[in-house]
Amino acid sequence: MREPSELPAQLRDTCRELVDLLAAPGCVLSRVIGDLLIGVAEWAPQGRSLHLGHGYLLSDYPLTREVIETLEPRIVAIDEPDPDPNEVELLHELGFESLLMLPLVADGACWGLVEVYGTDGRRFEETDVRGAQSVLARASALLTS
């Protein structure tokens, strides 16, 4: 059985695996607590700090809320025809151009939100979603073991 103290390192490893798999510049995993997201793990190869420990209200990010409520991934790019303005603003603040959001599901509910970022014209595709979902299936097992 996993020790509770091992979970933060395992979640960080999940972020690192997603960054490596998707050739992305960064990944943040946030815990969903009511209407709040709190960053609990991150990985960025260049040692860059993302927004770990920051809180975000879901009511400010309708597309993020949609991922959490429907348990379905979403892709955002700043150059798409009608992007969510709040998501685009946050991407600009963080210095990224695209975002893949996926739910981390445990016991049939959204335990957390995973955000994988893209730059340099990187657009996430359905193959990226499938690969990331495979990684997150293993991470979900960590939360229920």
User: Cα–Cα distances in Å, from 102 out to 4, 63, 92?
Assistant: 23, 11, 20
> With a cut of 70, which residues of the chain have pLDDT below it?
1-5, 47-54, 145
Domain count, the chain: 1
Specify the CATH number for the domain of residue 140: 3.30.450.40
pLDDT for the residue numbered 1: 41
Question: By three-state DSSP, how is residue 101 classified?
Answer: strand
pLDDT at residue 81, as a whole number? 86
Contact 67, 74 (CB under 8 A): yes
Structural domain of 60: 4-144
pTM score, whole prediction: 0.91
pLDDT, tens digit (0-9, with 9 covering 90-100), for 124-141: 999 999 999 999 999 998
